[in-house]
Amino acid sequence: MHELSLSESIIALVTDCAGLEGVRHVSRVTVDIGEASAVDPQALQFCFPLLSKGTVAEGAELVINRIPLKVRCADCRAEYRPDSPIAPCPACGSHARAVLEGRELRVVSFDGA
């Protein structure tokens, strides 16, 4: 499961940073997850507490910011947020585009003491 290894990565990163900052208990971890990142937030919420057991992040709240998909049309350069993953450009009907936002997968911050 993708979310399992993602949870491991998040916890590893937080554990490393907490160690550097002398944080002994992390109470909250905030992550950005793009809608086009193919990560299921519910699965992530499920995996995170299981994998954080015995780490500095045990019992921490996981806050997930969903970043909507935003693209730029390759033909007319219009920027838009598609209603569905296969929606064409509303200005010219083209399907050619570049993703600007929505593939985020990152730890934004964590709180602890």
Nearer to Zn ion, 57 or 73 (CB): 73
Spell out the alpha helix ranges (H) of 40-110. Answer: 41-52
Which residue from 14, 21, 16, 20 is spatially nearest to 57, judged by alpha carbons?
A: 14
* 89 known member of a binding site: yes
Least Å from the CB of residue 89 to Zn ion = 3
Nearer to Zn ion, 32 or 79 (CB): 79
Q: How far is the CB of 48 from Zn ion (least distance, A)?
A: 39
> Of 1 and 91, which CB lies nearer to Zn ion in the complex structure?
91
- Helix (H) or strand (E) holding 5, with range, is helix 2-21
Strand-pair partners of 98: 72
Q: Is 47 annotated as a binding residue?
A: no
